[in-house]
């Protein structure tokens, strides 16, 4: 049986979780399957045999950044005490006055990377306001997770070609391109991001929106060695998403690579 790492989850403080999951569902026109708290994430993970996960912070405005990162750091520590291989990435926002200061705080709190959601934050990936952030992340060797893709014309902030533009300008930037490189924009992901150095992908919020045949085409184009399993909890739980993952044709070795080996290498998980 393969070991499993979930490379894409979100948690919220218990008092805010209902509102947060409702707002997320309204933005994407779906209903989140899970509660969105760290206790529920751990329960969902245990049910599916998930040994570890990455918790990602998202801030809709600059004032939220510090509070979000404090909450993510606390949830990571809570999960580690329960035996999970837990990691957390800090929320960053384009209107943050001092990226260096916020990253210093995040790292001191135990977070190990950064995350933006361009569509929710309404900022293009290649917006000049983010260039200083990219320079800092590149210099420090910190990974940067980016929500990728959308097929709605009003939400084109996260187009794969915009990430390609950034990667051309900041070739040392290490990126996790989520949703197999472009939620509902997978042809663009193949065109602009396949075989890019310093880019790894996660499989979150993808399989329920594509056929197994399209998923297999993405595996071949992006490289199985460059894809980590991820769910997008609380949108879906690990158990049901694993069922969709297993519908995609793959070898046993490929399955193990995506479920554990690629994440273990990227997050430097050593037994």
Distance in angstroms (rounded) separating the CA atoms of residues 110 and 81 = 14
| Phi then psi dihedrals of residue 12, to 5 deg | -135, 150
Q: Can you give the pTM of this predicted structure?
A: 0.97
Distance in angstroms (rounded) separating the CA atoms of residues 204 and 180 = 7
Cis peptide before 234 (omega within 30 of 0): yes
Place of tokens 């001191």: 108
Place of tokens 């193990």: 256
Could you tell me if 27 and 120 are in contact, meaning their C-beta atoms sit under 8 angstroms apart?
yes
Proportion of the chain in helix, strand, coil states, percent, rounded to 5? 50, 15, 35
Q: How does pLDDT run across 158-180, given as a tens digit for each residue?
A: 999 999 999 999 999 999 999 99
Place of tokens 């998980």: 269
Residue 106: Cβ-neighbour burial (10 angstroms; 0-12, 13-18, 19+): buried
Q: How does pLDDT run across 25-67, given as a tens digit for each residue?
A: 788 888 889 999 999 999 999 999 999 999 999 999 999 999 9
Structure confidence at residue 6 as a pLDDT band (50, 70, 90)? very high
* Statement: 4-266 belongs to CATH 3.20.20.140: yes
Query: What residues does each domain of the chain span?
Result: 4-266
């Amino acid at each position: 049986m393969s070991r499993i790492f979930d490379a894409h989850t979100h948690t919220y403080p218990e008092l805010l979780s209902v509102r947060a999951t409702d707002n997320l569902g309204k933005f994407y026109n779906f209903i989140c399957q899970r509660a969105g708290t760290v206790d529920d994430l751990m329960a969902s993970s245990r049910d599916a045999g998930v040994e570890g996960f990455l918790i990602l912070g998202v801030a809709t405005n600059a004032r939220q950044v510090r509070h979000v990162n404090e909450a993510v750091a606390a949830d990571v520590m809570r999960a580690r005490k329960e035996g999970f291989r837990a990691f957390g990435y800090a929320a960053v926002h384009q209107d943050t006055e001092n990226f260096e200061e916020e990253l210093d705080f995040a790292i001191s709190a135990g977070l190990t990377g950064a995350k933006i959601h361009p569509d929710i934050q309404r900022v293009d990936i290649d917006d000049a306001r983010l260039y200083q952030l990219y320079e800092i992340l590149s210099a420090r060797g910190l990974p940067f997770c980016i929500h990728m893709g959308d097929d709605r014309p009003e939400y084109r902030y996260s187009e794969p070609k915009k990430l390609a533009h950034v990667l051309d300008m900041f070739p040392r930037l290490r990126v996790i391109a989520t949703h197999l490189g472009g939620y509902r924009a997978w042809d663009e992901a193949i065109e602009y991001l396949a075989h890019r150095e310093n880019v790894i992908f996660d499989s979150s919020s993808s399989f329920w929106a594509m056929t197994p045949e399209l998923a297999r085409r993405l595996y071949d184009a992006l490289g199985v060695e460059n894809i980590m399993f991820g769910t997008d909890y609380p949108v879906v739980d690990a158990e049901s998403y694993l069922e969709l993952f297993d519908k995609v044709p793959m070898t046993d070795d490929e399955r193990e690579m995506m479920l554990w080996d690629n994440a273990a290498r990227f997050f430097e998980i050593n037994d």
